[in-house]
Amino acid sequence: MNEAARSTEGVGARRAVWWERPLSDGRTSMIVSPADGRIPYTEQADTRLNAMPPLGADSPEDRTPSERCISYGIPRLGGPYSQNIHLVQTPDHILLLFEMIHEFRIIPLDGRSHLPASVTQWLGDSRGHWEGDTLVVETTNFNNRQRYRRLPLTTARLVERFTPTTDDTLRYEVTFDDASLWTESWTAALDMPRTVGPMFEYACHEGNVGMTAVLETARGEER
């Protein structure tokens, strides 16, 4: 698996040029609970997913928020590139700056309550606390446009845990809870190694021809 990730040959060889190539620890799924490594969708959520049409191309609004450079959402469970996270800690806040879409999360640690349910945000409303060396972050209040695997997180509750396992590695775990989407809470985990050097600007709009190409191709197919 690791040899394939580094390879410059065959399908996907372009990744050797600009994809970030992490090492696999041998797991076939990032999901550590339930034990079968599968997302436990409710019957209603599964039916809803299967009935969803492919993404449209009538207008930019048909595409995902990430394609439109609006939001990559949370949680961040890796990707082919630009998945670095810059962490800053103060006595009463944690700041997470995500390279992808250059989004910020500012997480209070002072015990304040969540925002009223009527106040929703793209990245939700996060509150953090410490359990020993582990930072625990609970997030609610997602707006109705923020989705995970095409399903809205409006009524979801996420609990993230950041635990140092070595001087240069954080263990990241996120638990998803929403009885309308999943039959039980489920948890995914990955290791986050320290990166040497600066994090570069993610200029999503500048020079990005992806959206133009999607819409132009759709117009061409229609003609």
Buried b (16+ CB within 10 A) or exposed e, 32-51: eeeeeeebbbeeebeeeeee
Query: What's the pLDDT score for residue 139?
Result: 98
Give the pLDDT confidence score for residue 1 in this predicted structure.
53
pLDDT digits (tens, 9 = 90+) for 49-58: 999 999 999 9
Print the domain residue range for 107.
29-222
pTM exceeding 0.85: yes
- Assigned domain for 209 exists: yes
Phi and psi for 219 in degrees, rounded to 5?
-65, -40
More confident residue, 175 or 197: 175
Residues in the chain: 223
pLDDT score, position 206: 83
Concatenating the DSSP letter of every residue in 87-142 gives EEE-SSEEEEEESGGG-EEEEE-S-PPPPPTT--BTT-EEEEEEETTEEEEEEE-B
Q: Are 141 and 152 in contact (CB under 8 A)?
A: no
**Predicted confidence band of residue 15 (pLDDT cuts 50, 70, 90):** low
Q: Is 62 a residue whose pLDDT tops 80?
A: yes
- Residue range 74-100: mean pLDDT, rounded: 91
Tell me if 22 is assigned to some domain: no
pLDDT of residue 203: 86
Residue 34 falls inside a structural domain: yes
Mean pLDDT of 113-142: 97
Each residue of 123-143: b (16+ CB within 10 Å) or e?
bbbbbbeeeeeebbbbbbbbe
Average pLDDT over residues 134-162: 96
* Per-residue pLDDT, 12: 53
In a domain, residue 76? The reply is yes
Give how many domains the chain has, as a whole number. Answer: 1
Q: Is residue 12 part of a domain?
A: no
Residue 20 in any domain: the answer is no
Whether 10 is in a domain gets the answer no
Has residue 14 been placed in a domain?
no
